[in-house]
Amino acid sequence: MNSTTTVCKATVDGKADLPAELTVEQEIITVRSEHATRPDPTWKHTDDAGHFHAWSNGDALPTLEARTRQAPCDGACGGVCDGEGYSVTEHFCRICDQQIEPGRTPDHREKRINGRRSWSILIDSNQPLGQSGDRVSVVVSRDFLDYFGVAQIAGLDMVSDGNGVRFTTRLHGISPLGDLHPLAASAPIGGMSWV
């Protein structure tokens, strides 16, 4: 699990520029398949019309066109597809339309993929942002990047620091944490600008 905590400013239900700490946790899953394949970088082929084909760097097939067709269920899935069948991708020469099977090689390497992503925020304020269990709209600004989502108030601590009462609110994300497009970030939202 990768975890990143950063200092930022947060807006909660329209209450702007609150000091906050955003924590994002990203689960990393290691997977490996006995049936996985990858493009064979040594594969080269000349079709019946003399047209050359090969994998280019970046695993592209510039001389072939990929076409996907639906195949009927053949029972190999053990009934998982409920008779819907499956998709088959076939490749054809862009010039003569001859069907070509690009060379592939087994790929038993371990791969790391992103799993579950969660986020939470600690917000410091001079007033409570709600009650435990309340759902709130959150916009977080950090280093010219804006994120947004829906969170639930998970806890509220109150401390008297000699200058008055301060509240620390713990929010847990209950929606994905969206990245706000830079053009949207510079436009006013509800009369407020986030930049």
Over residues 32-41, the pLDDT tens digits come to: 988 999 999 9
Domain boundaries, the chain: 2-29+114-186, 33-109
- pLDDT confidence band for 193 (50 / 70 / 90): very low
Judge if pTM exceeds 0.75.
no
Residues with Cβ within 8 Å of 138's Cβ and at least 6 positions away in sequence, in order, are 10, 11, 12, 121, 148, 149, 150, 151, 171, 173
Is residue 153 packed enough to be buried (19+ CB in 10 Å), middle (13-18) or exposed (0-12)?
A: buried
- pLDDT confidence band for 195 (50 / 70 / 90): very low
Backbone angles phi, psi at 89, to 5 degrees: -105, 125
Across 132-136, average pLDDT: 95
Across 117-144, average pLDDT: 91
| CA dist 141 → 103, 150, 180, 188 (Å) | 47, 15, 10, 14
**Percent of the chain whose pLDDT exceeds 90:** 60
Residue 194 has pLDDT above 70, yes or no: no
Strand pairing of 111-125 and 104-106?
A: unpaired
The dihedral region occupied by 174, where left means phi > 0, alpha psi between -120 and 50, and beta the remainder, is alpha
Q: What is the DSSP string of 132-155?
A: TT-EEEEEEEETTEEEEEEEEEEE
- Closest by Cα among 3, 24, 47 to 120: 24
Report the sign of the C-alpha dihedral through residues 18, 133, 173, 161, in that order.
positive
